[in-house]
Chains A and B, each alone.
Chain A
Amino acid sequence: MSSETIALNAVGESSRPIGERLHDWVVTVDHKKLGILYILYALFFLVVGGIEAIIMRIQLIVPHNHFVSPQIFNRMMTMHGTTMIFFMVMPILFGFGTYLIPLMIGARDMAFPRLNAFSFWMTAFGGLLLYFSFIGGNGLYGAGTAPDVGWWAYAPLTARAFSPGHSTDFWTLALLVSGIGSVGTGVNFIATILCMRCPGMTLGKMPLLAWLNLVVGGMVIFCISPLTAAQIMLLIDRYLGGHFFDTQAGGSAVLWMHFFWIFGHPEVYILVVPAFAFVSEIVPVFSRKPIFGYPIMVAATIAIGFISFSVWAHHMFTIGMSSYGNSFFVFTTVAIAVPTGIKIFNWLGTMWGGKIQLQVPMLFCIGFLFQFLIAGLTGIMLGTAPFNWQLSGSYFVVAHFHYVIVGGIVFALFGAFYYWYPKMSGRMYNETLGKWHFWLFIIGFHLTFDFMHIPGLLGMPRRIYTYEPGRGWEVWNFIVTIGAFLQAAGVLVFVVNLLWSLRKGDTAGNDPWDAWTLEWSTSSPPPDYDFAATPVVRSRRPLWDLKHPEDPDWKYE
């Protein structure tokens, strides 16, 4: 590897005392270290949230089970949802964004490194605050409890009368604090991508990952803030005696639903657009072709960003909106499927006629494509008001959104892990273990979430802690729980692979995939300063230009 390096300190990293090295991680403002902190923190919460899911699935494996009490089931349900959305998927995506964006646009750090650190620690302390509720939730009254109001915390469940103690306050404050961190990250993404690009990288030459994260940054600042506002209102209601969501004083429970979902639906796209970004980087490299339809991909992403702010009330078809309201939200929901469909066609177009290499990152991306398509189709089914009236609040909905989040987002995330692990750690992962992870996880996923649709169609409501035998739900619930254990086994293999490869993996070198974006031009792991000299790019695939000076991309773009 002949990449230029600057010798900053002669002392080797491993020879310094452990306390000093840990101190470096706590006070760091380096985007790579913060990115890894985000990712490790999120992986911890993946395990925690996964255990909560497993507890729920054990409770539901047979009818009339007594594994946990109804109260604990409600807490597990609330904590699983809140943890996975706010403290697992979002931080892990921010982590990858923080790590990769400066490297991919040829910058040495984010636009605001200290804001970056601030955002991470706000998110981290938000998660601690949420989990402190297990100890402090009931305050001085007695044993602690976690919040049990569901991840969307509909009014009036959150009113003082129905949520005594502090469990709901921990939930509110956790989301308020981590929301401030998220807005900081959103601001930082936008400023970094607009203001820190290396010479020659015009907006039209940015890697798609940077483009998509720019859209994510815009969505974060406009969609997390309504949640922050609603949490402030809830705090005013609970502590100052306000009446925002107090129906006895003329307040409206439906207003909370609107405020929650005007955050909640763009949030889904905040989670899925970075997953699109990973797939848009991985699929071309493993198909050995440039991305198909780059400008259309960008346009489709921007379209998704805008339309996602007009679909929120499709979560609320059953509250009794006017027929005009219903029609509008059906229309927008179906409309957002169009740019999403364009993206799927573009990824297929990239693979079409390519020399496809079925390594682990690509396997996960193919899984993503297949499952995200099905998730989108059930989404259109649920977005149609009459169908929604039939199935809202059933396990069909649970199956649908887990298809999006696990089948889509988590699969793309695992693909990203395997793709960038060599860059972040300097070592290759174990391909055999990676394949074991993929097959265990995809079989477990389909057992769980394919078969979860069926009890929903048979009328099984979501959020119930147990059910009567003899309704035809038993066999499906049994299969679903077995699948959950297979997924857990897959994740275990994944964690083992990460830890084992960190010590024993082959040295990766700068560019193990023969890829084309700037992060592969620097060493693995990258030095503190990222690039010895600021790169200058002339096309969307700067490394292709360097490797093929006889046939560079910039002649054709």
Chain B
Amino acid sequence: MSSVTFTPSTAEPDWVLPSRGRVGMFSLIGAESAIFTIFVIAYVFYLGKSVSGPTPQDVLELPIFSTICLLSSSLTIHLAVRALRQAKIGAFGLWWFVTMTLGAIFLVSTGREWHHLIYDKGLTVSTNLFGTTYYSLVGLHAFHVTVGLLMIALTMIFTLLGKVKPEHSERAEVFSLYWHFVDVVWVIVFTVVYVIGR
């Protein structure tokens, strides 16, 4: 047994470590992308393996407008975070609201598309393999958009209450990483489901 005293010596001046928020979010994005990978693999693996109709060619239409909305929300959230970093709370609130609106438009269009598929085309999750894999993959993405929208709405309320300060810009930025990730996933889903799979 020995006794040891830890005397703090003067630390080297520049001991800089990565931001834990960013590292944590990137790790979470890693985990999420593994989940999406499995669903995309299942979708591609089962393409054309349905034993009955309808097929993707029969029922799917390119969701151009909602895609443009979702992708441009990446730009607006970036502008919002930049405004917050420059302490322009008003501009932040405006861009944040635009992001929320664009995300909501995307979600509503997905809802309308599903309504059309279910009631007009008779495609449900149990109709065939295409229905199972399509609703799971697009639904998983829509679920992530919903979670993101809830967070954006919460932040919007805080902004309106005047609680959001420039020192929160890193948190907003960490959240925006998630939102960008959701957009990137949509690019992949769009390509796989609506372009290649059709």
Give the docked Cα–Cα distance between A530 and B57 (Å): 62
Give the docked Cα–Cα distance between A224 and B27 (Å): 13
Q: Which of A133-163 contact B (CB under 8 A)?
A: none
A252 at the binding interface (Cβ < 8 Å): yes
Question: Pick the contact of A187 from B17, B27, B35 — CB < 8 Å?
Answer: B27
Known A226-B35, A250-B51; 10 more pairs at CB < 8 Å: A2-B4, A111-B23, A183-B31, A195-B20, A221-B28, A222-B34, A230-B38, A232-B140, A251-B129, A251-B132
Q: Which of A176-233 contact B (CB under 8 A)?
A: 183, 186-188, 190-192, 194-197, 199-200, 217-218, 221-226, 228-230, 232-233
A217/B27 in contact, CB under 8 A: yes
Residues of A within 8 A of B1 (CB): 509-512, 514
A200/B15 in contact, CB under 8 A: yes
B11/A200 in contact, CB under 8 A: yes
- Which candidate, A7-15, A237-245, A451-459, is the interface stretch facing chain B? A237-245
A241/B20 in contact, CB under 8 A: no
B30/A255 in contact, CB under 8 A: no
* Chain B proximity mask over A540-554: 1 for CB below 8 Å, otherwise 0: 000100110000000
List the B residue with the shortest CB-CB distance to A251: B129
In the assembled complex, 16 residue pairs joining A and B whose CB atoms fall closer than 8 Å, in A order, are A4-B6, A112-B20, A115-B24, A225-B32, A226-B38, A230-B38, A233-B39, A242-B136, A243-B128, A243-B132, A250-B50, A255-B45, A510-B1, A510-B4, A536-B8, A546-B4
B129/A250 in contact, CB under 8 A: yes
List the B residue with the shortest CB-CB distance to A507: B1
Q: Count B interface residues, CB 8 Å.
A: 42
Question: Pick the contact of A221 from B12, B27, B38 — CB < 8 Å?
Answer: B27
Q: Which of B1-45 contact A (CB under 8 A)?
A: 1-9, 11-12, 15, 17-20, 23-24, 27-28, 30-32, 34-35, 37-39, 42, 45
A319 at the binding interface (Cβ < 8 Å): no
* Chain B proximity mask over A238-276: 1 for CB below 8 Å, otherwise 0: 001111100001111001000100100000000000000
Q: With A226-B34, A242-B136 as known contacts, state yes or no: A200 contacts B12, CB within 8 Å.
A: yes
Question: Pick the contact of A535 from B6, B20, B132 — CB < 8 Å?
Answer: B6
B31/A241 in contact, CB under 8 A: no
Residues of B within 8 A of A236 (CB): 125, 132, 136
A296 at the binding interface (Cβ < 8 Å): no
A443 at the binding interface (Cβ < 8 Å): no
List the B residue with the shortest CB-CB distance to A228: B35
A533 at the binding interface (Cβ < 8 Å): yes
B158 at the binding interface (Cβ < 8 Å): no
A3/B5 in contact, CB under 8 A: yes
Q: Which 8 A-B pairs have the closest CB atoms?
A: A241-B126, A225-B34, A229-B38, A195-B20, A221-B31, A242-B132, A199-B11, A533-B8
Binding site for B on A (CB under 8 A): 1-4, 111-112, 115, 183, 186-188, 190-192, 194-197, 199-200, 217-218, 221-226, 228-230, 232-233, 236-237, 240-244, 249-252, 255, 259, 262, 509-512, 514, 520-522, 531-536, 543, 546-547
Question: Pick the contact of A197 from B17, B19, B42, B132 — CB < 8 Å?
Answer: B17
Residues of A within 8 A of B38 (CB): 225-226, 229-230, 259, 262
Q: Which of B98-146 contact A (CB under 8 A)?
A: 125-126, 128-129, 132-133, 136, 140
B17/A194 in contact, CB under 8 A: yes
B49 at the binding interface (Cβ < 8 Å): yes
Give the docked Cα–Cα distance between A44 and B162 (Å): 49
B79 vs chain A, min Cβ distance (A): 28
Residues of B within 8 A of A224 (CB): 31
B143 vs chain A, min Cβ distance (A): 10
Question: Pick the contact of A191 from B4, B24, B51 — CB < 8 Å?
Answer: B24
Residues of A within 8 A of B3 (CB): 1-3, 510-511
A225/B51 in contact, CB under 8 A: no
Give the docked Cα–Cα distance between A196 and B16 (Å): 10
B91 vs chain A, min Cβ distance (A): 30
B39/A547 in contact, CB under 8 A: no
Residues of B within 8 A of A514 (CB): 1-2
